[in-house]
Amino acid sequence: MKLSRIEIQAFGCLSDFAEDIAPGLHIFHGPNESGKSTLQQAVLALLYGFYEGDRAKATENAARHRFVPWKHPRYTARLEYELQDGHRYLVTRDFAGDDNPTTVSDIVTGRPVTDDFGRGRHGNVPFMRKQLGMTRRVFESCAFVSQGELLQITGEGRVTPQEMGDAIISLADTSRRDVSAQKAIERLSDVLRKQVGGPAARATPLPVARNHLAAARRELEEIDRVRQEVAADAENLERAKEQAHTIEKSIARNHYLLCHTELGELEGRRNRLARLDEQGRHFQQQLESTSSFAEFPAAEREELVRASDSVGELRERLVSEQPETEKQRRRLDELTVRRQSLARQESELARFRRYPAERQPDIDALVQHWRHAETIYRESETRAEMAARAAAPLREEHDRLGPEVGALSQEDVRMLTERLRSPARSNRGLIRLLLAAVTAVARVVGRAARSAARILLRRQASKNSASAREPQISPLASIAAAEASRLLQAHLRYLEVAPVIQKQEAEQAATARSLTNRDAAAAQLRHALEGLVDDLTDLESACAQFSARASSRKQLDVISSQLEALDTESESLRDTVNRFMADGERLRRQENQLTQRLTVIVGRSGTVDDLFSAFEAACGQHRLHLEAVRSLREIENTLGIVLEGRSPAELDQMIGRRQAEIAACIAGNPSLEGALSNAGAEALKETLAREERQLRDLELRIESLGTRSGTRLSGLRSRAEVEEEIQQHTNEVAALEEFGRALTIAHDVIDKAMTEAHRNFAPSVGRFLSDGLSRVTGGRYHKGMLDPATFRVTTEVPETGLLVDVDVLSQGTQAAAYLLLRVGLAQHMSSMSEPVPLLLDDPLVDLDDLRIDNFLDLLLDLVRDRNLQILLFTKDEATRRWFERNCAKDPYCRITHLQPIAGRVPVGVSRRVQEAARTGEQPRLQMDGGSGL
């Protein structure tokens, strides 16, 4: 940024002031009260207004009021400036109102651009912050040096070291960069883009070179491929030649073997021919010797043999059947006699033909039954007689005892026993005896006898029941013991007799029943025989009569069946005899016929057998004749086959040829002699054909491989040429890539340097300080260092070599150091952004003349070398003289002489300002310390 013109309607003591500002060094020279400091403050107010912080309205107003014009009503000013990019602007500010309205416009186009910067508080237009990248506080700390404030870079109400550092860093990080570096980067990018290029731009050198390289490599690959094919062809050619050689040798050997085999076969054929000739002669003889039988009627032989066989068979059978036939004839005669006798018997028995002999079993059963019944009757009759004999003497006793004691019951017997016991103990022995007897009887008779006795007693009791029942108590209860003894003895006897009697009565009854049965059986038998026999009076004879008749009838039946059997046998015997006789007749007839035929054929007479032998002999001769004919024909055929349509002479020629070929083979390759093979001629021929085919194929292959490798490489560039091209392109690509890499590195490092260099401002500013201090002090101090944390400056004392704070040195050295620090900071910031115009208000008051000159020389160098703009406000005559010496003719430099302004009191200024005006001091902002005038 360079200020080019300032116009002030009214600002503090200045009014209607206008001045073009030099682009380099502009010195405003004038005595006290000529408005130098006011002009400097006016420039600051034009650049930044009176705005300070966000809530600084009161101090801002105070500052504004300080410069209210003394006479002039219009508290306004304007400033023209130019940026490094060539744009020029005009800023106009009206400080009269609280909002001191501001406008910025483009001088070239006349366009108002106020709104481009955004409105700040109370109408502030922060164009400086946008265009220079500096806040007012930072600007005041480095570029704006007012009277007496030289040593105060930081401190109360000023920028802090931290703020200053941040401002520099933020300036370094903004896009506003060092123009020369920016241009260097652009130049490098341009070269990279145009002279190297990348894949995005195909026509640029690097992609073009890469494409050429790739194409050349492909071509080389193609050449190598073809060369490899040629090499492979050459290998194949050699192999094919070797194979062909091997096959040729094999063919020679197989040819030899084939000749050998064929010769053997031909010779074998010739031998066979000789054998066939011999056989032919033999059969010719046979043919001739049997020629008379050529026409013999051998065709009838079969039939005649059959007839002869038939006669022989018949004859044989007749001889073998003869004895049997005789035996049967005799038997037939016997049978005839026998039949006659049987026929006689049959006629005699003929009258029993109708008798029912079939009933005999029934009758026999009835007879049996009858006889059995008879036997039973006889036996029971005997038993009844025996029982009657035993019972006869006892009957009377039984009849007597029965009514008295037969009805005694068991109870009765007990009671009697009781009676016997009680009164007469003296009779105890008797009673005992009785009881023992009764008990013994009872034991012997058993249950049957007891029951029989009981039956008898009951019957007796029931007979007496009427009387017995009358007195309820048995009378036995009161009988005397003697009576009781007697009764018991009687009772005992009754029990002994009663069974014998009963048995006799039962036997009598059984005898009566048997008799009845016997009579019934007799009546049955009689009834059965009724009608079959003549007399039934005596049953025994009637039975005999029946049996005789029945057996006669059976005899008749037997004879009849015998007659039938005889008849049947006779019939068969007669058939056999008849057949035998018929066969004999047939034999005679057949013999006759055969004899007749053979006589005709053989042509002489004789027995049948003689004739037949003669016939057979003739047939044999005929057969021999036929065989000779057939054999001769076969030999003829075989000869044809063996000769294969050639003549024997031709066969001999072939043999000769084979022998010659074999000789030639051996001559060509002696090692073949004696070579043998199991393979037949056909197999050898096949092998030979196959090998010849292979050989032909190989020869074709050899020929094609030969011609192909000759033509393969034509049309391709020489490999060396392509290799050179590849090398060239490879070099080019490598060089371009390296060029690109170097350019990129340069580009990137510059980019980084732009930031890093300014971020790390202390060394840079330190270097400026060192150079400046050395120049200003005439080489006494040549080392200055800045502590970025405190913004203190140290330097090396030449006498001691120690580093000391400049604050302990002379005022002049101190002033020089801090002025250099400010200029160094401004210069540093200018190098990374817009150049900052330096506004210096009498900074050199503490320097002696020599140092002033040195310092001014340094400023002039900055103006000339670094293109800085410096506005220097001074009353110093030495400075004026220096200017006239050094810059009078420099169009970049100018000096403006300001005249004193007298008797002016501003309207409405503060008491302090009025005081200041009255005492003749220049009104100043923040003027603590400093020497002022």
| Distances from the Cα of 534 to the Cα of 502, 546, 634, 887, angstroms | 48, 9, 108, 217
3-class secondary-structure state, position 109: coil
The nearer residue to other proteins, 516 or 727, going by C-beta atoms, is 727
Minimum Å distance from CB 730 to other proteins?
A: 9
Minimum Å distance from CB 182 to other proteins?
A: 9
Structure tokens at 755: 């930031």
Tell me which DSSP letter residue 670 carries: G
CA distance 602 to 304: 12
Options 83, 107, 169, 181; binder of other proteins; rule CB under 8 A: 181
Options 143, 185, 244, 387; binder of other proteins; rule CB under 8 A: 185
Total binding residues toward other proteins, as defined by CB under 8 A: 59
Cβ–Cβ under 8 Å, residues 172 and 759: yes
Interface with other proteins by CB under 8 A: which range of 21-29, 256-264, 753-761, 811-819? 753-761
CA distance 31 to 922: 12
Minimum Å distance from CB 220 to other proteins?
A: 10
Alpha-helical runs (H) found in 530-647: 539-602, 608-643
Report the Cα–Cα distance between both ends of the chain, in Å, rounded: 30
Examine residue 183 and tell whether it contacts other proteins (CB under 8 A): yes
Binding positions for other proteins, 237-256, rule CB under 8 A: 237-238
Examine residue 725 and tell whether it contacts other proteins (CB under 8 A): yes
Examine residue 193 and tell whether it contacts other proteins (CB under 8 A): no
Cβ neighbours for 466, distance < 8 A, ≥ 6 positions apart: none
Examine residue 187 and tell whether it contacts other proteins (CB under 8 A): yes
CA distance 300 to 315: 23
Examine residue 868 and tell whether it contacts other proteins (CB under 8 A): no
Minimum Å distance from CB 165 to other proteins?
A: 16
The nearer residue to other proteins, 168 or 611, going by C-beta atoms, is 168
Nearest to 401 by CA among 488, 506, 504, 479: 488
CA distance 362 to 244: 127
Options 289, 572, 727, 790; binder of other proteins; rule CB under 8 A: 727
Examine residue 230 and tell whether it contacts other proteins (CB under 8 A): yes
Tell me which DSSP letter residue 112 carries: B
Concatenating the DSSP letter of every residue in 794-860 gives EEE-TTT--EEEGGGS-HHHHHHHHHHHHHHHHHHHHHHSSPPPEEEESTTTTS-HHHHHHHHHHHH
Binding positions for other proteins, 691-720, rule CB under 8 A: 709-710, 713, 718-720
The nearer residue to other proteins, 616 or 738, going by C-beta atoms, is 738
Options 195, 417, 427, 631; binder of other proteins; rule CB under 8 A: 195
Nearest to 209 by CA among 221, 218, 219, 197: 197
Examine residue 486 and tell whether it contacts other proteins (CB under 8 A): no
Options 254, 764, 794, 922; binder of other proteins; rule CB under 8 A: 764
Interface with other proteins by CB under 8 A: which range of 303-311, 511-519, 604-612, 759-767? 759-767
Interface with other proteins by CB under 8 A: which range of 129-137, 235-243, 567-575, 870-878? 235-243
Structure tokens at 872: 């220097």
Tokens 């400036």 — which residue? Answer: 81
Minimum Å distance from CB 767 to other proteins?
A: 5
The nearer residue to other proteins, 630 or 741, going by C-beta atoms, is 741
In sign, the C-alpha dihedral spanning 705, 711, 716, 718 is positive
Cβ neighbours for 254, distance < 8 A, ≥ 6 positions apart: 684, 687, 688, 691
3-class secondary-structure state, position 758: helix
| Per-residue mark of binding to other proteins, 658-697 (x: CB under 8 A) | ----------------------------------------
Cα-flanking dihedrals φ and ψ of residue 783, to 5°? -135, 120
Examine residue 728 and tell whether it contacts other proteins (CB under 8 A): yes
Interface with other proteins by CB under 8 A: which range of 272-280, 680-688, 762-770, 841-849? 762-770
CA distance 471 to 464: 12
Binding positions for other proteins, 765-784, rule CB under 8 A: 765, 767-768
Minimum Å distance from CB 145 to other proteins?
A: 21
**Which residues contact other proteins (rule: CB under 8 A)?**
178, 180-181, 183-185, 187-188, 191, 195, 224, 227, 230-231, 233-235, 237-238, 709-710, 713, 718-721, 723-728, 731, 735-736, 738-739, 741-743, 745-747, 749-750, 752-754, 756-758, 763-765, 767-768, 828, 831-832
